[in-house]
């Protein structure tokens, strides 16, 4: 029997679109299903100023196919030299919706990130004053800290002290991967939210390492133990407004993923909504998919829920997705969940 589910058109609250030929190829994959997206600023060079964000937004809109509707929500890359007044002006203009904190060296193109958090205190205080959210890549980069512990340590050493020192600062813990992250959000009723990716709801660290290294499952923050994946599933399907979808869809060409030092990131823009329907159905929570994908994010960012709708359909036979997306820089592999999927997006 055919089953359908109609929800408000979803948004992606954490998306990498890159630039140039890569942007042109991957943008339609997101715009097909998502009305808006928080666009990451970690280009080379990074998007640091309001003027650079304006130019990047213009390039995104120029690359958008004429028959697609999509609103890029721009962010600024926080550096130790970021000007608080430029941030405030970019926010006041309606251009910038968040500022992104990358600890230096934490992930792709994060070399310009923050090392000394005291140096960004004036920016954070200004952001608290104007209500501009801080999006956080929550990992420490100390070499002595095990990569599987870096999120939990970041909460204790960096995030909690920042929030205590800056009352009123609105923070999004992006792509949380641990039960520690879930519990920290749940213990803080105000000014704190978290995005959860599609792939972290599906894979744990065994998927990356057992039976041979799977480079297309390698991401940062890296997938953790099964107990953490289950905690993320419980949070995402709970209906709690503090948890919302941020795919962290991150395109890299196959040679860059499959090299001796492969890039971190899973490209999920193409099939995220179908995979989420599968996950939420497994958790007997299809009635909560709209909250996670379409309502909780706008609630945190103080934006209206989209009036347009998206319909998902369940099929008796498994559906297929493109294995790769061709780009001017080379092929990008689409995330493979490793199981049969029976859901697709209509239209």
Percent of the chain's residues with pLDDT above 90: 94
Which band of pLDDT confidence, cut at 50, 70 and 90, is reported for residue 113?
Answer: confident
State how far the Cα of 141 lies from the Cα of 151, in Å rounded to an integer: 10
* Cα separations in angstroms, 327 against 20, 108, 151, 226: 10, 19, 33, 34
What pLDDT score does 103 carry?
Answer: 86
What pLDDT score does 104 carry?
Answer: 80
User: How far, in whole angstroms, is CA 246 from its chain's centroid?
Assistant: 3
| Interval 180-199: pLDDT, tens | 999 999 999 999 999 999 99
User: CA angle at residue 181 from 235 to 312, to 5 degrees?
Assistant: 30
What pLDDT score does 117 carry?
Answer: 86
Cβ-contact 96, 50 below 8 angstroms: yes
11, 12, 240, 248: the catalytic one is 248
Tokens 């820089």 label which residue? 329
Mean pLDDT across the stretch 303-326?
98
Which band of pLDDT confidence, cut at 50, 70 and 90, is reported for residue 318?
Answer: very high
Tokens 């948890």 label which residue? 243
* Cα separations in angstroms, 167 against 90, 163, 272: 22, 6, 35
What pLDDT score does 106 carry?
Answer: 67
Return the structure tokens found at 336. 């493979």
Which band of pLDDT confidence, cut at 50, 70 and 90, is reported for residue 2?
Answer: low
Mean pLDDT across the stretch 111-128?
91
| Interval 210-227: pLDDT, tens | 999 999 999 999 999 999
Rounding to the nearest 10 degrees, give the CA dihedral for residues 239, 237, 140, 227.
140
- 70 has pLDDT over 70: yes
Mean pLDDT across the stretch 242-246?
98
State how far the Cα of 253 lies from the Cα of 257, in Å rounded to an integer: 6
What pLDDT score does 109 carry?
Answer: 60
- 263 has pLDDT over 80: yes
State how far the Cα of 261 lies from the Cα of 280, in Å rounded to an integer: 34
Average pLDDT, the chain: 96
State how far the Cα of 191 lies from the Cα of 209, in Å rounded to an integer: 37
Phi-psi label, residue 339: left if phi above 0, alpha if psi -120 to 50, beta otherwise: beta
Mean pLDDT across the stretch 152-161?
96
118 belongs to the catalytic site = no
Q: Which CATH class is domain 3-345?
A: alpha beta
What pLDDT score does 115 carry?
Answer: 87
Mean pLDDT across the stretch 224-252?
98
Q: Which of 1-10, 93-102, 125-134 has the lowest mean pLDDT?
A: 1-10
State how far the Cα of 63 lies from the Cα of 325, in Å rounded to an integer: 16
State how far the Cα of 1 lies from the Cα of 78, in Å rounded to an integer: 51
Percent of the chain's residues with pLDDT above 70: 97
Closest CA to 38 of 92, 99, 83, 125: 99
Cβ-contact 297, 244 below 8 angstroms: yes
């Amino acid at each position: 029997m055919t089953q359908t589910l109609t929800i408000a058109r979803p948004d992606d609250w954490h998306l990498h679109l890159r630039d140039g030929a890569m942007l042109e190829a991957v943008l339609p994959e997101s715009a097909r299903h998502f009305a808006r997206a928080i666009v990451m600023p970690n280009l080379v060079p990074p998007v640091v100023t309001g003027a650079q964000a304006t130019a990047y937004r213009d390039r995104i809109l120029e690359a958008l196919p004429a028959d697609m509707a999509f609103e890029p929500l721009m962010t600024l890359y926080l550096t130790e030299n970021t000007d608080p007044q430029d941030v405030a002006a970019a926010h006041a203009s309606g251009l910038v919706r968040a500022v992104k904190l990358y600890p230096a060296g934490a992930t792709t193109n994060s070399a310009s990130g923050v090392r000394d958090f005291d140096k960004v205190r004036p920016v954070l205080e200004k952001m608290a004053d104007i209500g501009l959210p801080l999006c956080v890549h929550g990992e420490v980069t100390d070499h002595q800290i095990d990569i599987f512990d870096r999120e939990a340590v970041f909460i204790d050493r960096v995030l909690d002290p920042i929030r205590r020192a800056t009352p009123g600062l609105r923070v999004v813990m992006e792509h949380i991967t641990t039960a520690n992250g879930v519990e920290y959000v749940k213990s803080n009723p105000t000014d704190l939210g978290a995005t959860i990716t599609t792939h972290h709801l599906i894979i744990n660290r065994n998927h990356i390492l057992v039976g041979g290294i799977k480079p297309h499952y390698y991401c940062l923050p890296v997938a953790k133990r099964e107990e953490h994946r289950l905690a993320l599933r419980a949070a995402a399907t709970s209906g709690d407004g503090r948890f919302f979808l941020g795919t962290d869809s991150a395109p890299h060409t196959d040679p860059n993923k499959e090299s001796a030092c492969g890039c971190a990131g899973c490209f999920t823009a193409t099939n995220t909504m179908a995979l989420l329907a599968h996950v939420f159905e497994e958790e007997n929570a299809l009635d909560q998919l709209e909250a996670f994908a379409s309502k909780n994010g706008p609630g945190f960012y103080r934006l209206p829920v989209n009036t347009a709708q998206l319909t998902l359909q369940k099929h008796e036979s498994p559906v297929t997705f493109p294995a790769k997306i061709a780009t001017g820089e080379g092929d990008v592999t689409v995330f493979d969940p490793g199981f049969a999927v029976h859901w697709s997006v209509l239209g």
